Amino acid sequence: MSLKIATLTAISLLLTLGTASAQQKIIAVDGSSTVFPITEAMAEEFQKANKGIKVTVGIGGTGGGFKKFCRGETDISDASRPIKDSERADCKKNNVDYIELPVALDALTVMVNPKNDWVKEMTVAELKKIWEPEAQGKITNWKQVRDSFPDKPLKLYGAGVDSGTYDYFTAAIVGKEHSSRGDFTASEDDNVLVQGIAGDVNALGFFGLAYYLENTSKLKAVAIKLKVDSKAVMPSVEAAKDGTYQPLSRPIFIYVSRKSAEAKPEVAKFIEFYLDKKNAAKLVKEVGYVPLPDNAYDVFLKRFKERALGTAFHGSKIGVSVEELLKTPLVN
Amino acid sequence: MSNEHTRIEGETIDERLLVKRANRQDLRFAVIGLCVLIVAMVALLALIADFMLDGVPRINFDFFVNYPSRKPEQAGILSAWVGSTLVMLTTAALAVPIGVAAGVYLEEYARKNWITDIIEINVTNLAGVPSIIYGLLALGLFVQTLRLGQTILVAGLTLALLILPIIIVTTREALRSIPLEIREAAFGLGADRWQAVWMYLLPAARPGILTGTIVGMSRAIGETAPIITIGALTFIAFLPPAPIQLEFPFVNFQWLNSPFTVMPIQMFNWISRPQVGFHVAAAATGVILLAMTLLMNGLAIYIRYRIRRGMK
């Protein structure tokens, strides 16, 4: 019996020793599931090149990620929208300074069923007519959207209302962030939307470009006209990059804590790897997103090295071109 | 006389009718029950067959030794299955001793009064509380108040809390179902309460306790919600420090403090990715998770069988 007690004591002693001395080189990242594939790809390649440094990536969502980030629990936060004013206040309260770094563009894509032969392009005004809150229960037929459309029921699919994707789409189309009709099939899982639209001739829906590019045989993308007389632009990597796909292309970000960047050399090393234009152009494209132009990565790398703090945004801004991203002054 | 005779005859007829009706009811219930069972089994088997078809061809040696990757065909579940195994070990090491001890105390030592009644009701109710509630509790207590971080230890603590009621309830039931003779024989030989519990009752209750533990563990291994709530990570391309090392003191408990991911989270992440390759990998992960659960159950059945044989 006393032998057992002795072993138990020894084990608990080792346990405390073990927990006390655990200190590894870990870079903690959490945040948006939209940005996750990019950070995952970066972390994968970075760890291959730098043995001994460990990167962990979570998907707590943009909001959940900022909560942890502003408590100082993570080094980097993935975000599919700019930091909100309330989150800025949180960070300020805990003395967490951050560097805002756009890392890629995402093109929200409006999709219909491939058997739909009446829609090729739509204007922002038509989309607004469909999605605004007043349309609820009223706009239920394709004919109501445009006279030349057939008399068929209109079935809507869209990103879940807690997502940054929904926030941006409503801001860009309806004109007011987080405001739309409520009677559509919403899902946080974009694959559910792909299934829904692929199986319904009368469907119309929206989600990120990556999901369309993987399912081009099951879905048909709709070209977007910013105004009635402007050119209809199909969603594509190129159109998002050169800024012609408007207003549905949006920048996505990472936020780096200044404290981590300065106290942990491995964090700085990871960011320099992330913003290296060769890595970024290759890996961002590989996971289905739109890389920024090369010179943009240079500018943001410089911004990181100079530890330029603060954000260039107040909530989602619509139709930001890469040039604007580069020029907008930062507010701390 | 003749009057009485008819009465008896009338009764037998009534009885026959009653028996017939009861039989009919039995039959009806059996048919309904069978239908329900068939529907449930067909749905379950269809689901399993569906992801087996998708997942099994994807399983190969590399799938077990590769880390997750952005390339679906290179992605593997090394960090996930190691994480799941370590979390399960931690959970068992915490929940089994505490759960069995609590069960023994409540059944054998505690006086039966209103306090134990309240505890009993609470424990039984806790067994039915949704797992996300445990996740929220763990987030508030372990992660934010005690600042233990998102580690294997915290996941083990959370899941241990989750399955504790199951273990307590089954331990009590196992103790209760031991024939009174064993108890009386122990006391008759002059054993005190502790000796009776340690030497007679616990060995006799082992099969029951084991079943409860496995039911709890099978639930814990598939849990996603509480683990996501405490903030487990999704992409991890390294393993926790090895528990055994060559230098003194040969065992190492640093892995308890390591970040981790588990199989259900890996599955959840892959299933929501755009590329079909990831969906196949998710199905394969499901197959392996199912195999792990079956393996755990199989092990329990085997141990129980050994114990039962040893007892006779």
Specify the CATH number for the domain of residue A161: 3.40.190.10
In a domain, A241, yes or no: no
Q: Under a CB-based contact definition with an 8 Å cutoff, are residues A90 and A177 in contact?
A: no
In a domain, A128, yes or no: yes
DSSP codes, B151-183: -HHHHHHHHHHHHHHHHHHHHHHHHHTS-HHHH
Task: Quote the pLDDT of residue A17.
Answer: 43
B236: nearest CA in chain A? Answer: A56
**What's the domain count of chain A?**
2
Rounded to whole angstroms, how far apart are CA atoms B269 and B210? Answer: 33
Residues A319 and A267 grouped into a single domain:
yes
Residues A116 and A212 grouped into a single domain:
yes
Residues in chain B closer than 8 A to A213 (CB atoms):
274
Q: Tell if the CB–CB gap between B234 and A44 is shorter than 8 Å.
A: no
Rounded to whole angstroms, how far apart are CA atoms B172 and A120? Answer: 68
Residues in chain B closer than 8 A to A289 (CB atoms):
none
Q: Tell if the CB–CB gap between B269 and A59 is shorter than 8 Å.
A: yes
For the ranges A288-292, B70-74, B90-94, B248-252, the one whose mean pLDDT is highest: B90-94
| pLDDT at B143 exceeding the cut of 60 | yes
Task: Quote the pLDDT of residue B309.
Answer: 78
Name A205's bridge partners: A111, A157
| pTM of the complete model | 0.80
CATH topology of domain B60-311: MetI-like fold (1.10.3720)
Q: Under a CB-based contact definition with an 8 Å cutoff, are residues B286 and B48 in contact?
A: no
B257: nearest CA in chain A? Answer: A19
- Look up residue A293 and give its DSSP letter: P
Rounded to whole angstroms, how far apart are CA atoms A295 and B281? Answer: 37
Residue-wise pLDDT tens digits, B2-20: 455 555 555 667 888 888 8
Strands A185-187 and A203-208: unpaired
Q: Which residues of chain A have pLDDT under 70?
A: 1-23, 314-317, 319, 321, 323, 332
Rounded to whole angstroms, how far apart are CA atoms A10 and A7? Answer: 5
Domain boundary among A178, A200, A234: A234
Q: Tell if the CB–CB gap between A18 and B252 is shorter than 8 Å.
A: yes
Residues A114 and A99 grouped into a single domain:
no
User: Number of CB pairs < 8 Å for A and B?
Assistant: 90
Quick one: which of B247, B212, B239 has its CA closest to B99?
Answer: B212
ipTM given for this complex: 0.77
CB-based burial label for B269 (10 Å; 0-12, 13-18, 19+): buried
Residues in chain B closer than 8 A to A21 (CB atoms):
254
Task: Quote the pLDDT of residue A22.
Answer: 43
Residues A130 and A215 grouped into a single domain:
yes
Q: Is B25 within 8 Å of chain A by CB?
A: no
How far from B274 is each of A17, A58, A280, CA to CA, in Å?
Answer: 44, 18, 20
Q: Tell if the CB–CB gap between B234 and A36 is shorter than 8 Å.
A: yes
Give the H/E segment covering residue B65: helix B61-65
A289: nearest CA in chain B? Answer: B274
> Which structural domain range is residue A87 located in?
3-105+251-327
CB-based burial label for B135 (10 Å; 0-12, 13-18, 19+): buried
Q: Is B194 within 8 Å of chain A by CB?
A: no
Q: Is A203 helix (H, G, I), strand (E, B) or coil?
A: strand
Residue-wise pLDDT tens digits, B18-35: 888 889 999 999 999 999
Interface of A with B (CB under 8 A): 14-15, 17-19, 21-22, 24, 26, 28, 30, 33, 36-37, 39-41, 43-44, 47, 54-60, 68, 188-191, 208, 210-211, 213-215, 283, 286-288
In a domain, A240, yes or no: no
Q: Tell if the CB–CB gap between A191 and B274 is shorter than 8 Å.
A: yes
| pLDDT at B96 exceeding the cut of 60 | yes
Nearest to A44 among B69, B231, B256 (CB): B69
Residue-wise pLDDT tens digits, B250-267: 677 778 888 888 999 899
Question: What residue ranges do the domains of chain B occupy?
Answer: 2-56, 60-311
| pLDDT at B115 exceeding the cut of 70 | yes
Amino acid B6 reads T
Strands A76-79 and A249-257: antiparallel
Quick one: which of A286, A233, A290, A244 has its CA closest to A110?
Answer: A233
Lowest mean pLDDT among B14-18, B83-87, B152-156, B163-167: B14-18
Residues A95 and A188 grouped into a single domain:
no
Q: Is B275 within 8 Å of chain A by CB?
A: yes
What's the gap in Å between the CA of A41 and the closest CA on chain B? 5
Q: Is B236 within 8 Å of chain A by CB?
A: yes
Nearest to A41 among B70, B259, B272 (CB): B70
Q: Tell if the CB–CB gap between B235 and A43 is shorter than 8 Å.
A: yes
Tokens of B131: 């797992």
To 5 degrees, how large is the angle CA A212–CA A215–CA A220? 65
